[in-house]
Structure 1
Amino acid sequence: MPFHRFYVPHGLYSPCDKRSIAEAVTDVYVKVGLPRFYVVINFIEVSEENFYVSGKSSTDFVRISIHHIARHLPSRERKRDFMQRYEKAIEPFTKGRGIRWEIQVAEMDRDLWNENGINPPLGGSDGEILWRKLDRAIPYSTDHLELR
């Protein structure tokens, strides 16, 4: 699952902006085959008196923290390609508005990940294809890929 936390100054983005950002970010992952429901995005609004950059209160900075669990990017080239696609997706809400931003991605251990108590199927497997089609986690059998 890619889990995104957008730390933003209070009121920077409207509810419509947040929906648009969530759709754009989700599309980055769906285009490479991840199930839509894997993508989770939280907007954490921080008041001006609690948001500091360079030791000064800030109202024009967004910090994006991403945890990748479902997929790891195996090479520098793939990592930079991901960053380029991600930057393009959020550009209308960052650079396009004169907002400063920082993105950080951490790759997490997929063995320490469950969806609804289920260890997710491997990327590209029949189980993951089924989850993508249903847009939800369901018990699956690796033998026959039938519902239990």
Structure 2
Amino acid sequence: MPLWNIYHPVDAYTAEEKQEMAKRITDMYYVLPRFYVGVLFHEQPKDSFFMGGQKRDDFVRIRLDHFARHMSSDAERTTNWLKRADEAIAPFVRDRGYHYELHIGETPRELWLIDGIHPPRANTAAEQRWKSENQPSPFGPEEG
């Protein structure tokens, strides 16, 4: 599962803009079941966000956690994911003049459950079923 937590100033985004940003983010993960992708928006009230001890109301902080897939090389991390993530959010952050920070954390697969089920391994029959049905379901060892 990729889980994006977006911390932003109050009223930075309308409901429609949040929906569009979530869609752009979800579309990046075309190899995964869509329901894996979570995007949470966290409004930060004025006088509640500080950087270097100074109040900031022009800053967006994005933390994304990867569970379903891990990046295998530094090139993949810097060239592919950070660049793609930056491009996906640019219209909502950089292009609006916000200062921002983006960070990716990777959690071991073994420490991840969905509805009490360990998700299937990548590119297995069970994962393909989860992708086509867009929901988790039990599977046997021969599937995933």
TM-score bin (small chain)? over 0.9
TM-score normalised to structure 1 length = 0.93
The equivalences for 1:1-148 within 5 A come to 1-30=1-30, 33-80=31-78, 81-143=80-142, 145=143
How much has 1:23 moved relative to structure 2?
0.3
Per-residue Cα deviation, 1:98-120 (whole angstroms, up to 9, x for no partner): 11110010100111111111000
Stretches (4+) displaced over 4 A: none
5+ unaligned residues in a row in structure 2: which ranges? none
Alpha-carbon contact 2:21-2:92 (below 8 Å) kept: yes
TM-score normalised to structure 2 length = 0.95
Alpha-carbon contact 1:127-1:142 (below 8 Å) kept: no
Query: d(CA) in 1 for partners of 2:53 and 2:37?
Result: 32
How much has 1:53 moved relative to structure 2?
2.1
How much has 1:10 moved relative to structure 2?
1.1
Query: d(CA) in 2 for partners of 1:77 and 1:27?
Result: 21
Structure 1 vs Structure 2 CA RMSD:
0.9
Query: d(CA) in 2 for partners of 1:123 and 1:100?
Result: 35
Query: d(CA) in 1 for partners of 2:10 and 2:136?
Result: 33
Query: d(CA) in 2 for partners of 1:8 and 1:97?
Result: 12
The alignment of Structure 1 onto Structure 2 pairs a total of residues equal to 142
Per-residue Cα deviation, 1:38-90 (whole angstroms, up to 9, x for no partner): 00011011111111123222121100011100000000111111111111111
